[in-house]
Amino acid sequence: MRILITGAEGFIGRALVARLLEGKDASIGSALNDAEPNASFLGAPTKRQLTLIDQQFERKLADSRVRLIAGNIADPDVLSKALQGGVDCVFHLASIPGGLAEKDFELGLAVNLVATQHLLELLRRQHHVTRVVFASTIGVYGVPLPEVIDESLEPAPTLSYGAQKLIGEVLITDYSRRGFIDGRSLRLPGIVARPPAASGMLSSFLSDLIRNLSAGRSFLCPVAATGTSWWMSRTCVVDNLIHAAELPTEKAQTQRVWLLPVLRASMGDVVAAIARIHGEDVLSKVSYQDNPTLRAQFANYPPMRSPRSIAAGFKNDGTVDDLVRRALDGPN
């Protein structure tokens, strides 16, 4: 099984790589081994060959199953090199996040849209159909949001990032319709808890809230305690990415875009969960200063209903306490 992961050195990418190499595919039920090579589409871990693309790699994976390609996916030569020899499955995670894509339109366009289109074109020219899992975003819905979100809601992005991802979804669906690829797009919510780095993500305060309070540090939350968001841990999103890759082709043919089920919780709900896990003194370490712009984009989320995704086996973290416990799991 030849697997390509773009954005492999990123927050989600690192955890996905670790899971694929370890073989602990939670969505499949248990670790796979060589004795059951046909147990899943992705096959046995020892038979997986991973090609990883990112701008640079801080770590060197001493694993014969891994090939590292450092470079910008907006460079056609980088993608061409990555696809040499063919590929069976692509996890397309690389992107320029919302805040940075707003500041630098050309950069966002090049990475979020043009590179996606070029990747699809290269896959179309292969001699077989490649399975593609595309990391899209709930940002396709824009703001303000209606009172309830469900799987029939028409997207209306209000950031360039959301618009670029929506176009990517349309391309994935059309290339799949024509039989060029076998694609599935997942609309991801805020994933926590990201490392404290300059990621360009306007929603980084959601991760900072969990990371700082869990470590016993004070935190000024930039939205009110009543502000509600949609949450998912990195462990859970990796479960869902792998599940999307495992989804049978016949099921994907009836639905190419999946709105992941999420936990909807207020800032206060998450703080209370952290306090239950790490001690009541957490409550004295948090304060709130409401930023209307951030609240409108990331903390004014209504209930979400995604019964088709749930029926297809996608999942959330279960409870807010479980979300907090899992939020700091995995590689840094």
- What is the phi/psi pair of residue 255, to 5°? -160, 115
- Cα–Cα dist 330/52, whole Å: 18
Would you give the DSSP letter of residue 3?
Answer: E
All residues at 6 or more sequence positions from 284 whose CB lies less than 8 Å from its CB, including other chains = none
Do residues 99 and 201 make contact, with C-beta atoms less than 8 angstroms apart? yes
- Cα–Cα dist 88/86, whole Å: 7
* Other beta carbons within 10 Å of 277: 13
Sign of CA dihedral 125, 171, 76, 89: negative
All residues at 6 or more sequence positions from 119 whose CB lies less than 8 Å from its CB, including other chains = 6, 73, 79, 90, 92
Catalytically active residues are 161
Q: Is the N-terminal amide bond of 144 cis, ω within 30° of 0?
A: yes
- Cα–Cα dist 34/213, whole Å: 43
**Strands of the 257-259 sheet, one edge to the other:** 66-70, 49-54, 2-6, 89-92, 130-137, 181-188, 257-259
Residue 273 in tokens? 């969960």
